[in-house]
Chain A
Amino acid sequence: MIIQADNLYKAFGKFGALRGLTMSVPEGSVFALIGANGAGKTTTIKVLMNLIRPTSGHATVIGTNSQDLSPRERSQIGYVSENQDMPGRLTVGHYLEYLRPFYPTWDPQLEQAVLQQLRLPMERKIKDLSHGMRLKMALACALPFRPKLLVLDEPFSGLDPLIREEFMEQLLTQAGEMTVLISSHELADIESAATHIAYIDQGQLFFQEGMDELCARVREVRVTLRDTAVAPPAPPAHWLGIKTIGSVLSFVDVEFRDERLAAQLSTLLTGICDVQIQPVALKDIFTTLARATQAGKLPK
């Protein structure tokens, strides 16, 4: 594992931002950290990057205690965040020039390629860049040294679709062997790239698994009944977002298994005319999970 977090707690005053978070990021994965606003995604990343200290718990990044990250490990980590403070009075070119000597693996050709693709104005001061440009600038500063781990904290926030696409394109082009940890609300953008996903809420991890496994276990189920549909009084805990419209009962089964679903449907419902089972988009999975979490119905 390139990142291993064990039982992380972080409190800001009385507010517990992380409450025993445990997760592991496999090497070479594109690991998406999803969760509602205030779930603790950014705090998790900041703890992992040693920008803030955990109140308790332990994390390792590239095999090193996150609180002891030395320049050697940092030279293998790229970081892009919407809230990154770079020296505003330096130009893009000067800042890249400043960063180069700190990275032994900095590749000038890759730098040129990235800059060309991102079309950054080298002579412009960083403080004069737009929000989108700044994020592209942060990416341009994170890729040329071919980091082993690239951490992206809400990289698409406030970006227009064109820049978002450019950003992802650039990222995927250069991804290679690197591990990417990405936290984002823009699930449509990361859906195609993510290999693993972790869902956190209120500072706790609800699940983490491979994207394929997640997609395989989450299905939208639409049951057409003979009569007006009524939600079963005691549905299984893994049926989320139960809705009824006319004679149709729909829900998201977050632990989908063919045989079990058939058995449960026949037990809980009568007069079934038709059953449709469809894969669910990541965005819808997230929405369903977030709502269930808010309602306190999400099984851990």
Chain B
Amino acid sequence: MIWHIVKKDLRLMWPFVALLTTLAAMQCGLEISAGTVVPAGPMVVLLQLLPLIVWLSIAVVTVIVVQQDNLVGDRHDWLLRPIPAHSVLAAKVLFVILAVHAPLFLIDVLQIAATGISVRQALIPALSHQFVLFFLATTPALIVGATTRNVVAAVGFSVGVFVLFTLILFGVNFGVVRNPAVSPIQSGYSWVVAWTTFLLYVAIIFFLARFQYRERRETPSRIVGVIVTVAAFALLCWFPWGAAIKAQQWIDGAPVGEEAISLSFPAGSSLQSLPPQTMTGGRNGVLAPFRPGRDLNILDLVSGIHQVTLPVQIAGLPTGDVMTSDRGTFRIESATGISLFDANGPICARLDRGGVSGTNCQFAILRGHGAPTDAGVARGEIQLPLPTAVYKQIKNQPVRIIVDFTLTWLRHNGSQFLHAVNDKKMLAGIGLCTSGVDREGDDIELRCVTAVRQPTCIGATLADVRTGARNPLLFGCRLDYAPLPANWLPPAVLKRSGADLPFLDLDGLAHYPVDGSQIGEAEVVIDTFVPRAHLNRSVEIPSIRLSDWETRSPKPVL
């Protein structure tokens, strides 16, 4: 019976399916023709819009197919026929899987395989992409279709929910910007949050759809649907950190060799003793979505936050490895042990040369790769945001600060090479990459495209293999500790990343070890880093006066 209903729907829906498949095929064609580099102009807009249009089209097709056997209203012929409601629901789901997701899956496979990996390797990224689309587009559309009378009503209802969401998002996002370390969705644990939420959401929505097909009570179903969707969104924003970390640790198993790693406040140090900072990013565009350190910003100033900058050092980290911070909390006590301030984050960090301050106040400490080390110790700074009123009140008294970090230790996973000029190569784990001199003639443009999940952190530099000279490392992290070997973030299956590696300062103010004269022989060295262990560390800063540390106001180099 289920298949019989599916066949009827195919007969009715084929023009919509054909249109959707054509859109997806167009997107695939554009992605393949774009390769690693997205040309400027309308192509960029198309490549950004088409995945969203496909996503929206999936939702619309789902709504239409559900409403072929409409549940809302009392005139629909099928309601009087001996057709089991659960068979109709099953038929709708099967239709969407077979007629919508299956063709899109094949198009994804084609698109991914076109980047140079085997069809077999392309299956998992394509499948995970379709899973995500199923969760994010098909599932909500299923319940919207089942509780509205027609597509116009469905669109109206969705717009209403969207407005509600926008308002919630605005409120939440404002909070998150001010307090980025609060949600694990902003960290490498985001996959735990997202997939848990997705699975719960799908389970509840399917339960609700079953109820709606059995009872045909659209008003309660709609209300519950909206509540569940808002709750799913709330779960994304306020997922408990403890649960996310436990899930990750359960997946990873017991960490090995992390006991030797310690984080501490360098006794007798001062910020002035730290070497000058070299922030990477900005114009140079480190690999993937990194921005230069966002520390003191307008929001902080408007909201009256005073950032206290303190040094921190990490010992026991093997040379070449990286430590990233996922979360930090701190509390301040008086000399007599009375709690003065208890913060749930955020803690930003600025680091030594070679280190980088990442998005949302997460930080990474990189040892080796040109970063200065003192007897095996890597150094950096942390920034503790304090309400200005609190700061003024306690700045002149001796205080004790305890900072608790959730960290991830990433091991160096090897280096790969690409000729600096006009090379194109499939790099393991990174994707199809190309290199070449940019239009201005001062940077090497490194561009990569892949559907496979890239290593958590990537460093790239120009090196002259004959002389051993190396330019400063560009380093970036896309914190994602998902066990899936695929990009799962919507909407597009292919993700592009890249970096501009400078070798010439057109103003003539700086000189690079690997410069224009060597660029023909130079290579791009790409270092990759993958998670090795997740650990918790505390830093205790005994008896300091905050006013002693307020001299420096860091300014990122853009």
Contacts and interface: CB of A to CB of B under 8 A. Distances in A.
Q: Which of B4, B11, B68, B77 has the most chain A CB within a 10 Å cutoff?
A: B77
Interface in B62-80: 68, 70, 73-77, 79-80
A165 to B, nearest CB: 25
Contact of A102 (B1, B11, B68, B75): B1
B392 interface: no
B12 interface: yes
A98 B4 contact: yes
Nearest to B217: A53
B8 A72 contact: no
A217 interface: no
A71 B83 contact: yes
Q: Which of B77, B79, B80 has the most chain A CB within a 10 Å cutoff?
A: B80
A85 B76 contact: yes
A51 B83 CA distance: 14
B77 A86 contact: yes
Interface residues of A, number: 26
A26 B539 CA distance: 86
A214 to B, nearest CB: 30
A84 interface: yes
Nearest to B69: A87
Q: How large is the interface on B (under 10, 10 to 19, 20 to 34, 35 or more residues)?
A: 10 to 19
Given A49-B80, A71-B83, A74-B80, A84 B75 contact: yes
Contact of A90 (B4, B8, B76, B83): B8
A90 B10 CA distance: 11
Interface in A96-152: 98-99, 101-103, 138, 141
Contact of B82 (A46, A71, A84, A89): A71
Contacts of B1: 101-102
A207 B543 CA distance: 95
A226 interface: no
B275 interface: no
Contacts of A99: 81
Nearest to A52: B74
Interface string A35-74: 0000000000010010110000000000000000001101
Interface stretch (A75-83, A178-186, A274-282): A75-83
Q: Which of B8, B73, B81, B82 has the most chain A CB within a 10 Å cutoff?
A: B82
Given A84-B75, A102-B1, A90 B80 contact: no
Q: Which of A49, A77, A87 has the most chain B CB within a 10 Å cutoff?
A: A87
Nearest to A126: B77
Contacts of A75: 82
A94 interface: yes
Contacts of A102: 1, 81-83
Contacts of A83: 75
Nearest to B83: A102
B542 interface: no
A51 B74 contact: yes
A46 B73 CA distance: 11
Contacts of B441: none
Contact of B74 (A46, A71, A77, A101): A46
A74 B82 contact: yes
Contacts of A74: 80-83
Interface string B340-361: 0000000000000000000000
Contacts of B520: none
Q: Interface SS of chain B: helix, strand, loop or mixed?
A: loop
A185 B75 CA distance: 20
B80 A79 contact: yes
B240 interface: no
Contacts of B8: 87, 90, 94, 98
A46 B76 CA distance: 12
A101 B3 CA distance: 12
B289 interface: no
B370 interface: no
B475 to A, nearest CB: 57
B483 interface: no
B175 interface: no
Nearest to B75: A85
B220 interface: no
A71 B77 contact: no
A87 B68 contact: yes
Contacts of A86: 77
B84 interface: yes
Nearest to A100: B4
Contacts of B70: 85
B78 to A, nearest CB: 8
A75 B80 CA distance: 9
Nearest to A51: B74
Contacts of A90: 8, 11-12
Contacts of B4: 98, 101
A89 B83 contact: no
Contacts of B77: 84-87, 138, 141
Contacts of B73: 85
A94 B77 CA distance: 15
B12 A51 contact: no
Nearest to B8: A98
Nearest to B79: A51
B211 to A, nearest CB: 15
Interface string B1-34: 1001000100110000000000000000000000
B383 to A, nearest CB: 60
A72 B84 CA distance: 10
A79 B35 CA distance: 59
Contacts of A52: 74
A98 B75 CA distance: 18
A103 B4 CA distance: 13
B130 to A, nearest CB: 27
Contacts of A81: 75
Given A83-B75, A84-B77, A101-B4, 12 more contacts: A74-B83, A79-B80, A85-B73, A86-B77, A87-B77, A90-B11, A98-B4, A99-B81, A101-B1, A102-B82, A103-B82, A138-B77
Interface of A: 46, 49, 51-52, 71-72, 74-75, 77, 79, 81, 83-87, 89-90, 94, 98-99, 101-103, 138, 141
7 contacts: A46-B74, A71-B82, A71-B84, A79-B80, A85-B70, A87-B68, A102-B1
* 9 A-B pairs with the lowest CB-CB distances in the bound complex, closest first: A71-B82, A75-B82, A51-B74, A74-B82, A85-B75, A79-B80, A86-B77, A98-B8, A83-B75
